[in-house]
């Protein structure tokens, strides 16, 4: 199989590329390395994942290209069997200060990927969507407050389902641009008969995640703790997310690709059994590292959700998939990797 991974030098994309390279498939990574601009002056080795793939998997074809350039996509995508579209502007905060880049990267970029795939007669596309497509409607769900965390009211004890409303609410530009790509991918599947998997992801974390304050919070808390950098919590720290280790995520994508399902939308996260508040994560990191952590607190950010938990029933039933790695084990592996690769961040 010939696999094309947009954004393949990013955290998620590089793990997808690695998975299929290990299985012996031909893999092309297509990335404009714009993540480096975001990470510049924050992380030393901004090309870490690109160089990791180049060194560890020399058979992977690494191509510098931009999903906003249709000509590049048409040329480079030709001859492939499946596309994993992970390229995106990923930070909510950046989308509010630079909505044009967010739109062209996420909405226009996704349209270009879909159209290039259609014109190249590619049979299947996997799209990295986000739980942000549900927007501020999530904050209309009642929550209960505990000592270290918030929780959904009983009606949503299993989390937010795929049928949850995406309408009549605030989204932020990031949520809008990703939702546009989500809907376009669904429609291309229905209209042109392509196999399309849309994955509305919660918090994905794991090794090789170059987390910064406004994106990749699990990795950022680990990195900041190890390097004695200040940590700011926006809100009270009781906000809860279901977190999913990146290898469990890749497994879900692979199960869909190998399934007979023609097209589908799936919430993808740790589900109600694998959740964590910010305060709880800091306590786990403290226990595993022995380091003292004294976060600062600041105001809530726009459209931040007190609780987001994915209802993953559909993925369980349709894909026979189950997240296997516990938050404690996953965070431990992340700490071990970050500790061994401090030079990436210094």
Active site amino acids:
174
Q: Quick one: tokens of 55? A: 């060194």
DSSP assignment of 199-261 equals EEE-EEE-TT---BTTB-HHHHHHHHHHTT---EEES-S--EEEEEEHHHHHHHHHHHHHSS-
- Report the Cα–Cα distance between both ends of the chain, in Å, rounded: 39
As a whole number of angstroms, the distance between CA 11 and CA 2 comes to 21
Beta-sheet pairing, 26-31 with 61-64: parallel
As a whole number of angstroms, the distance between CA 315 and CA 325 comes to 16
The residues that bridge with 91 in the sheet, in sequence order, are none
Query: CA dist 290 to 30, 50, 331, 335, Å?
Result: 40, 32, 14, 12
The residues that bridge with 307 in the sheet, in sequence order, are 240
DSSP assignment of 23-36 equals TT-EEEEEE--THH
Query: CA dist 301 to 129, 218, 220, 232, 274, Å?
Result: 21, 17, 17, 12, 24
Give the count of beta carbons closer than 10 Å to the beta carbon of residue 189. Answer: 22
């Amino acid at each position: 199989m010939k696999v094309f991974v947009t954004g393949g030098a990013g955290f998620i994309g590089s793990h997808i590329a690695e998975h299929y390279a290990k299985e012996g498939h031909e893999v092309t990574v297509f990335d404009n390395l714009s993540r480096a601009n975001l990470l510049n002056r924050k992380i030393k080795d901004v090309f870490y994942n690109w160089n990791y793939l180049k060194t560890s998997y020399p058979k992977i074809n690494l191509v510098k290209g931009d999903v906003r350039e249709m000509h590049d996509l048409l040329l480079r995508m030709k001859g492939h069997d499946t596309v994993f579209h992970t390229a995106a502007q990923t930070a909510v905060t950046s989308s509010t200060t630079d909505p044009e880049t967010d739109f062209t990267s996420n909405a226009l970029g996704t349209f270009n990927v879909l159209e290039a795939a259609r014109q190249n007669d590619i049979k299947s596309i996997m799209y990295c969507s986000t739980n942000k497509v549900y927007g501020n409607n999530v904050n209309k769900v009642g929550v209960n407050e505990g000592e270290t965390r918030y929780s959904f009211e009983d009606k949503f004890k299993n989390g937010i389902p795929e049928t949850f409303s995406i309408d009549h609410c605030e989204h932020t530009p990031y949520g809008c641009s990703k939702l546009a790509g989500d809907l376009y991918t669904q429609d291309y599947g229905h209209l042109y008969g392509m196999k399309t998997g849309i994955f509305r992801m919660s918090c994905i974390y794991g090794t090789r995640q170059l987390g910064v304050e406004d994106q990749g919070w699990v990795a950022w808390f680990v990195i900041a703790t190890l390097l004695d950098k200040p940590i700011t919590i926006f809100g009270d720290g009781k906000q809860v997310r279901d977190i999913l280790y990146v290898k469990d995520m890749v497994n879900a994508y692979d199960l869909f690709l190998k399934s007979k399902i023609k097209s589908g939308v799936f919430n993808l996260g740790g589900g109600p059994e694998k959740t964590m508040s910010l305060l709880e994560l800091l306590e786990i990191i403290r226990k595993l590292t022995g380091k003292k952590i004294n976060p600062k607190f600041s105001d809530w950010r726009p459209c931040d959700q007190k609780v987001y938990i994915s209802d993953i029933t559909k993925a369980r039933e349709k894909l026979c998939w189950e997240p296997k790695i516990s938050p404690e084990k996953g965070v431990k592996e992340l700490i071990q990797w970050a500790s061994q690769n401090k030079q990436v961040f210094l």
